[in-house]
Chain A
Amino acid sequence: MSEINSIDKPASLVNSATSRHERWRLLKDQLARYGVVVGGLGVIVAIVLIFFYLLYVVFPLFLPAKVEMISHYALPEAALGKTMLLEVEEQNTLAVRYTDQGQAVFFDTKSGKTVLVQAIAIPKSAKISSFAKGSPANEGAVVYGLSDGRAIVAKHKFTVTFVDNKKTITPSIKYPLGEQPLVVNSNGTAIDNIAIKVGEDDTTIVAKSGDKIRVLNFAKEQSLFEEEAKWTHSEATLNMPASGVTHMLVDKEESNLFLLSNDGRLGFIDISDKTNPVIKQELNIVAAGTTVTSFEFLNGDLSLLIGDSNGLVSQWGMVKDATNRPALQKMREFKVSDKPILSINAEQRRKGFMAVDASGLVGIYHSTSEREMIKEQMAESAPAAVVMSPRASALMIQSDNGDIQFWHVDNEHPEVSIRSLWQQVWYESYAAPGYTWQSSSASSDFEPKYSLIPLVFGTLKAAFYAMLVAIPLSLMGAIYTAYFMAPKMRVIVKPTIELMGALPTVILGFLAGLWLAPFIEKNLAGMFSFLVIAPLGVMLFALLWQYVPKEHRQKIPEGWDAALLIPVIILSTWFAFAISVPLETMLFDQTLREWFKSEFGIGYDQRNAMVVGIAMGFAVIPTIFSIAEDAIFSVPKHLTVGSLALGATPWQTMTKVVLLTASPGIFSAVMIGFGRAIGETMIVLMATGNTPVMDISIFQGLRTLAANIAVEMPEAEVDSSHYRVLFLAALVLFLFTFIFNTLAEVIRQRLRERYSSL
């Protein structure tokens, strides 16, 4: 067609003014062509963009972490002794090094320049015999055990101040329990090994000297009138041989103590009563021939990380055993290398940790998702010290020749993996692995649990019950409307049912939640008796209708049976609900709800899958009805007429000819209806309790992917793992419906071609 326009008209026929006009017209035509093509393709690109944008947000979840060395420099103040502990402050600008000479050296992480050197107030008369950092490490407490049986607790503090809008961080050393050393062993024997937990109001120190382990507790007594707090202290000695103990840890509640010897004997001691420690459990945790080389809490102090000489890190957690007593059990293990694990550093905000082996290989892992985020050779030989920054965004490593390397760590989403999303995960303080969705909680060391399985389960469950309601009603309705109904009635019925689909789902959800749910709760037996009585009533009416004299029967024109049935159904519904109570009383002598509970132990939720099924079925019926009706109605007439002419009854023609021909269309109608049920948000949001449980029972609630997005998305922090997992949920929904709809659409197009060929 466009060729017609592009044919040049003879120039002689038009004067120059019209030719300018002509050119302008053609130019406009060209411009419009480009405009429309660009605009049209742009719209289509925009639509494709949705998919790619979702993918783009989800993608970083599965990227591996990255590490990058920022700087390296010689050990600051090497003359002040060997490093006992390295710590980096939260902003990653300063670090502190505790030495074996009792000095704390603060230095800049980028340049290694010393900022401050502070000697710990250790009495001249004593020597340092042991050292430990407090757990959790973010309080920055350390303890030096001395050769005269005393100990001193120090704490580094980084004060952030703003001067002229510039941030300055000033380091200092504090003594939370006073500058005077605490007497741990009154007999003056040296402390060989020490562990500490500094709490808000009380501090627990566990010290080993010789073959005795002593537990000390210092509680703060703040009196109203005195400035200085007083410390009251209690102590106890463990009633067990302690010679082999090499590692000791006190948890943050100061109620559990873990002792570990080199050969793998782990003791679990309850010290909630500080004067009377109770040994709860003793067990062997490594295979024969291997030794334990490192021992650390995972963040939250609920499980232990144990590194051994074979390069294996295993996680042991407190799990309730058969008698409901807490007992240690191995939850999972990580193979780092074949060399002994030199040290383990737990992240302070997440359930991840860093392990370093004797060859200088550094691995960063996440416990519950079982992901290995990083494995990198950072040093040539066994490093002298390593530390991970509090936000897990940097790490510092001191090699044995005294060099310090400072690395940047980019590890945003370790807690999400294909495994943690789709498989059973054993979370801390859970009895067994399971599927759990729990994205947030009030407590700060809570671990988010992102299993999509309960949500997918809820989605499918809701869709299943909705289809259970919708398929029979809509398909049978479509069959009748398309094939048996009088055309005059069809003109009214079809738009009415299609109007049903236009009702906002928020209204259906509101009615389902606030009207239907209490109604069903009260009339559960009625609902079931309706299912039986209504079809029976219809059958009975149809049977009796035959015996109605012909002259009366013929008053109703053919194809108006459905109108006739409306009062019948209303009456039988009324009858079903009316007899349900006496029936219930007679059969069970209690309500059906109670009977289910007492007989089968099936609990009843007011907003349950049945309510969702009915409400969402209502929303899906028009979709399926409309498409299926179209498919049946457009079955070519000569097929049905031929069948009828051969003597088949209308019903036989229906089932044997029409349904068979239209079956792809009906299938695609069901597919599209299913897609709609899966993505429906407001109805499930309002008609269920939104609890992510996995229970197939029709009387229990559920939580779907879509409702979950609507509930949690506004609260999710941008670019956090939670945000991205919700995007993943949206992507899953998108793909689900896209596949179903495409399938349906392709089938429908095929069908159309087939009809046109018939």
Chain B
Amino acid sequence: MIKAWFKSGEPWVWVNAAAVSTCLIMVIGVLGLLVVRGIGHFWPTSVAEFTYQQDDGTTQKIIGEKIDTSVMPLIMARESGFKMADSEDHLIQYQLKTGNRDVTAVDFRWIEERKIQHMEYPQELLVVERREWGNFYGRLVAVKSGGQVVASGEQALPMAQEKIANALEIFKQISHLEKKEIGSINYALERLRLKQRKLELKNALDATAKQAIVAEKAEYDVQYKQYQAQLAELYKKVRSDSLVLKTESDAEQTIPLAKIVRVYQPNTMNVFQKLGHYGVKFIEFLTDDPREANTEGGIFPAIFGTVMMVMLMAIIVTPFGVIAAVYLREYAKQGFVTRLIRIAVNNLAGVPSVVYGVFGLGFFVYILGGNIDQLFFPESAPAPVFGTPGMLWASITLALLTLPVVIVSTEEGLARIPKAIREGSLALGATKLETLWRTVLPMASPAMMTGLILAVARAAGEVAPLMLVGVVKLAPTLPLDGNFPFVHLDRKFMHLGFHIYDVGFQSPNVEAARPLVYATSLLLVLVIVGLNLAAILIRNNLREKYRALEG
């Protein structure tokens, strides 16, 4: 019976089906993992207080968010050095985010479930998000202003919220002053220095020119001093207030308002409040600059850098890809040479991306960039302008990398257009260019679009070549800002993919950064999956359209 069944080949079909199912499970599993972990990051978790028995028998209070649970079988627990009784068959551990890194030096710890004597969620526990040292967990004691207690007990929290709202307002002004105003003065001063150096190199730095430069400099200095004074004023305001909090061990800790982003009591929040909190955090994630070595705050510069780089790349790759495809399909004589070229183009799609990075670094950055610097920017030597990795070179390198995608896709589109259409146009007296421009290319535009979208999707996810030609972990300025000439293609930039690599693997506090990396990954995946789905939809529509034409 079974023998006959095997002979029919039926089981092998099932095994093959299982392979497909496994692939599907893997894809959905990976996406699911990203969604679950990435979405959860912004949800305010309840903070628990544990009464925990220590090794020496004494008990200790621990406050923290329970973020992970590990169940270790007996043998593994024994191997890891835990003392296990024979009656136990596994060891349950919880990972807590305990925060307070400035007090305890670690902000994560594992505790054993069997040693927890008591666990509760006290209402009054407060989470303080800080600009440095990570979160603080504890109880609010009092609010101080200028060293004097202004509120304590019940009134402390509303007072604190109010003061923090004020402080955040001031902070907005501070960051505007520091980044926008003082930043542009610094930029102008640098330009002035370059101007002077340029005149010096030309031997044209005479007395009048010198005077003009000195005068301009003095003007900037006056402005700078004004802003400095304003800044000092604002800082004084924001530094005068502080919160007094108690840690789990009842030690008092004073946190100046200048260091606080927000405070909240997760244990008192209802679902809607939590949703609101989630929204605020999510918007912060999308629009804010990173804090604390990229492990907290937002990823706005990375999103911005990715989008701008990809757009530049699209601007570069589209004309070249289309021209090459038009040449191959419409102008070149079909034969051995075009076949060879097609093989080469197809092949280039398979060349490892890091090789493009190496080429970009050697050829674009050092050779092209180095020569551009010598010719056009002698005044800024020895500091390189284009002779160092930057936005421009990154987008050109990626344009080269995605060129085959656009060529192949456009060619496919051109090949699908029935010959009759071209011949009809020519027969009506149109030149070849007119035929191409008025009929063939518009009809092939969805194919070009598909190619472009696929190219953009590939470029957005590519990291290895970018590591060589322009991505940095933290760029102080965006490549697009309010300072003339507004677009700074020589600047280095941040990138979502590299951000994932850097924060996930190079960060000093990987544990704290992990949720953020999941959230970033989810964002990147959504963008790329979205782009790909768009490409697939366009491709399908396109097929329908030509089926109608052919029929």
Contact = CB atoms under 8 A, between A and B. Distances in A.
A737 B426 contact: no
Interface in A212-267: none
Interface stretch (B170-178, B185-193, B480-488, B500-508): B500-508
B355 A40 contact: no
Determine chain B's interface SS by DSSP, over half rule. Answer: helix
15 contacts: A29-B433, A36-B330, A43-B323, A54-B355, A480-B20, A497-B23, A504-B461, A506-B498, A507-B497, A522-B72, A543-B2, A546-B5, A726-B358, A730-B358, A741-B350
Contact of A589 (B75, B341, B524, B529): B75
Contacts of B212: none
A503 B536 contact: no
A33 B327 CA distance: 9
B517 interface: yes
A686 B17 contact: no
A460 to B, nearest CB: 14
Contacts of B17: 480, 484-485, 561-562, 564-565
B324 A40 contact: yes
Given A1-B426, A709-B358, A44 B324 contact: yes
Interface in B151-210: none
A737 B505 CA distance: 28
Contacts of B352: 678-681, 706, 733-734, 737
9 pairs of A and B residues whose beta carbons are closest in the complex: A651-B9, A40-B327, A679-B352, A504-B461, A476-B19, A681-B464, A480-B16, A39-B323, A29-B431
Nearest to A41: B327
Determine chain A's interface SS by DSSP, over half rule. Answer: helix
B48 interface: no
A29 B437 CA distance: 11
B521 interface: yes
B463 A539 contact: no
B351 A737 contact: yes
Interface stretch (A95-103, A162-170, A194-202, A508-516): A508-516
Interface residues of A, number: 119
Interface in B314-363: 319-321, 323-324, 326-328, 330-332, 339, 341, 343-348, 350-359, 361-363
Given A513-B504, A570-B25, A649-B8, A734 B331 contact: no
Contact of B15 (A49, A476, A500, A675): A476
B501 A503 contact: no
A733 B30 CA distance: 29
A32 B430 CA distance: 14
Contacts of B73: 581, 584-585
Interface string B503-537: 01100001000100100010011001100110010
Interface string B3-37: 00100111111111111111111110010011000
B405 to A, nearest CB: 11
B278 interface: no
Interface residues on B, range: 35 or more
Given A44-B324, A502-B529, A36 B331 contact: yes
Contact of B464 (A481, A650, A682): A682
B468 interface: yes
B20 A713 contact: no
Contact of B504 (A514, A654, A734): A514
Contact of A503 (B30, B327, B343): B30
Contact of B19 (A473, A591, A675): A473
A235 to B, nearest CB: 52
Nearest to B495: A506
A36 B463 contact: no
A481 B17 CA distance: 8
Contacts of B324: 39-40, 43-44
Interface in A565-599: 565-566, 568-570, 581, 584-585, 589-591, 594
A46 B400 contact: yes
B243 interface: no
With most chain A CB atoms within 10 A of its CB, the pick from B345, B353, B464 is B464
A283 interface: no
A422 interface: no
Interface string B402-432: 0100010000000000000011001100011
Nearest to A736: B352
A500 B332 CA distance: 36
Contact of A497 (B24, B34, B76, B330): B24
A561 B14 contact: yes
Interface in A434-490: 472-477, 479-481, 484-485
Contact of B9 (A473, A485, A591, A652): A652
B366 interface: yes
B18 A503 contact: no
A539 B14 contact: yes
A51 to B, nearest CB: 9
B216 interface: no
With most chain A CB atoms within 10 A of its CB, the pick from B13, B23, B30 is B23
A682 B350 contact: no
B438 to A, nearest CB: 12
Interface in B423-477: 423, 426-427, 431-434, 436, 457-458, 460-464, 467-468
Given A499-B532, A568-B21, 6 more contacts: A29-B432, A37-B332, A43-B407, A472-B19, A485-B20, A741-B347
Contacts of B355: 50, 54, 679, 730, 733-734
B13 A502 contact: no
A542 interface: yes
A522 B90 CA distance: 13
A477 B26 contact: no
A738 B33 contact: no
Interface of B: 2, 5, 8-27, 30, 33-34, 70, 72-76, 79, 319-321, 323-324, 326-328, 330-332, 339, 341, 343-348, 350-359, 361-363, 366, 400, 403, 407, 422-423, 426-427, 431-434, 436, 457-458, 460-464, 467-468, 497-498, 500-501, 504-505, 510, 514, 517, 521, 524-525, 528-529, 532-533, 536
Contacts of A1: 422-423, 426, 432
A681 B355 CA distance: 10
A563 B344 CA distance: 40
A54 B13 contact: no
B464 to A, nearest CB: 4
A562 B10 contact: no
Contacts of B75: 581, 584-585, 589-591
A477 B16 contact: yes
Contacts of A508: 30
Given A40-B326, A514-B514, A713 B361 contact: yes
Contacts of B505: 510, 513, 686
Interface string A702-735: 0000100110011000100000001100100110
A504 B427 CA distance: 48
A731 B524 CA distance: 31
A4 interface: yes
A542 B11 contact: yes
Interface in A9-46: 25-26, 28-29, 32-33, 35-37, 39-41, 43-44, 46
Given A480-B17, A504-B524, A710-B467, A681 B354 contact: yes
Contacts of B25: 566, 569-570
A676 interface: yes
A520 B435 CA distance: 60
B353 A679 contact: yes
A53 interface: yes
Nearest to B454: A502
A728 to B, nearest CB: 10
